[in-house]
Structure 1
Amino acid sequence: MNEPKLTPTTTTPTDVTTSPFRCLTGSVISGGLAYAAYSLMIAIATTFAAKPIHTDNEIVFKIASAVRTLVVGVVALGAGVFGLVAVGLLALGAQILLQQLSKPKNN
């Protein structure tokens, strides 16, 4: 009942400095993922367009159309997010590089 409360020891994460090189590599990786997601989206949309829905039931047609739209939309959202991250990381790298170049050197 009267046991002392043991708090787990937490380790503090080490601060990693942001550099233009790290931003550039992150931007390249994110851009590659964006391109892959975009290519996947085009392939999915082309496949859906080549295979129309064959049914006489209007409810089945509407549900299938909605599912196709959602699948293409989710992949497009992923491509857009990765693309924006790539652009943002590239801009951050440029900003850090400009700040490092404009900083006066103390020797």
Structure 2
Amino acid sequence: MNQTQPTDTPTQVPPTPLRCITGAAISGGLGYALYLLMISIATTFAKKPIHSDNQLVISLTSAVRTLVVGVVALGMGIFGIVTIGLLALAVQLLIQQLTKPKNN
């Protein structure tokens, strides 16, 4: 006889203001770290000019540098937006908890 074991179904944990603030702190920290990385990369690129007479090399190097800084800036922006969204969700949940009538 084939007996199948019941599988664990993932249950969704409702969001709480504390979880939202914790997630926002983590996301904000990562966003700030990416900001510092972006500034460091841009400063390093600015201190090291391109030494070439070939126009193709200059164009490709400029494009790669722009791409690298842009990707890091995009990651920083995404983490920043996530941080703002989680903080807004925490405020919304706090307001809902404070205005919800208590049934005892």
Structure 1 length-normalised TM: 0.90
> CA offsets, 1:23-47, max 9 Å, x none?
0000000000000000000000000
Give the structure 2 partner of residue 37 of structure 1: 34
Give the structure 2 partner of residue 82 of structure 1: 79
How many angstroms apart in 1 are the aligned matches of 2:6 and 2:29? 39
How many angstroms apart in 2 are the aligned matches of 1:50 and 1:65? 14
Paired amino acid for 2:71: V
The percent identity for this pair of structures is: 67
**Runs of 4+ that moved beyond 4 A:** 7-10
Paired amino acid for 2:84: V
> CA offsets, 1:22-77, max 9 Å, x none?
00000000000000000000000000000000000000000000000000000000
Aligned 1:9-48 pairs, distance under 5 A: 10-48=7-45
How many angstroms apart in 2 are the aligned matches of 1:47 and 1:80? 21
Name stretches of at least 5 consecutive residues in structure 2 with no aligned partner.
none
Give the structure 1 partner of residue 100 of structure 2: 103
How many angstroms apart in 2 are the aligned matches of 1:12 and 1:97? 29
SS state of the match for residue 105, structure 1?
coil
Name stretches of at least 5 consecutive residues in structure 1 with no aligned partner.
1-6
Coordinate RMSD, CA, aligned:
1.4
Residues paired across the two proteins, number: 101
